[in-house]
Amino acid sequence: MSQEERRLLGADEEYCTSCGEAIKKAAEVCPKCGVRLKDLPSTEGKKRSKLKIGCLSIIGIIVAIAIIGVVASSSSGGGDTVPTGPPTPVVVIDANLRDMLELVESNEVAAKAEYKGKWVEFSGVISEGAIEEDKFDLIPTNSDTFQMSGAECKLTFEELGKVIGLRAGQTVTVKGQVKDISTFMITTFEIDKCQILSGN
């Protein structure tokens, strides 16, 4: 077929590589000359594909088993652990709330160095209207009516039930860790992990 005799092809057509006839792109055999245009997928290619899928499946199963083993080992406490020895005892400072507040007033830096992050035990009087579900405020014993500076005691979970028995004006002895010392308007020792040791 000469160049002049060739017609324009449609979007879904191409020329036969053997005879030059215009044929559909999807055709596997030329209708004019019978030449096979596309190879059928070989059985060897199918075998290779199945082999790849099989290998990937086995690798996936091995990885899954390894992950399950690591998770099970870490959750059961297995594996290498570093012996820690006996727990370090907590040092508790026997303190006086009024002295703590006076130190802040005279030297805030010294007060933070002395108390912040440390455990303290002290007594105080529960302030009016200062009892909540998980905390209460204390002022120093023998304070006047206008005393506002003191300590905010945030109770441990185990101590929450004791809030019911607290009353404003009651003197209590507490133990806890000084989280921070706030000096905004009034001085407040923020006591975490507070435990009520005794109360009158």
Q: For 90-110, how does the pLDDT look when each residue is reduced to its tens digit (9 = 90+)?
A: 889 899 999 999 999 999 999
Computed from CA positions of residues 34, 35, 39, 44, in that sequence, does the dihedral angle turn out positive or negative? positive
Give the count of beta carbons closer than 10 Å to the beta carbon of residue 29: 13
The pLDDT > 70 percentage for the chain reads 86
CATH, range 92-199: 2.40.50.140
Q: For 19-59, how does the pLDDT look when each residue is reduced to its tens digit (9 = 90+)?
A: 888 888 888 888 888 888 776 555 556 667 777 888 888 99
Q: For 64-74, how does the pLDDT look when each residue is reduced to its tens digit (9 = 90+)?
A: 898 888 877 76
According to the model, what pLDDT value does residue 77 have? 57
What ranges make up the beta strands (E) of the chain? Answer: 13-15, 22-24, 92-94, 119-131, 135-139, 150-155, 171-182, 188-199
Alpha-carbon distance of 165 to 167, in angstroms, equals 7
Q: Which two tokens stand for residue 187?
A: 């001085």
Which residues face 189 on adjacent strands? Answer: 151, 181
Grade residue 140 by pLDDT with cuts at 50, 70 and 90.
Answer: very high
Alpha-carbon distance of 112 to 127, in angstroms, equals 24
Residue type, 66: A
The pLDDT > 90 percentage for the chain reads 30
According to the model, what pLDDT value does residue 101 have? 93
What DSSP string runs through 141-160?
TT--TT---EEEEEEPGGGG
Grade residue 82 by pLDDT with cuts at 50, 70 and 90.
Answer: low
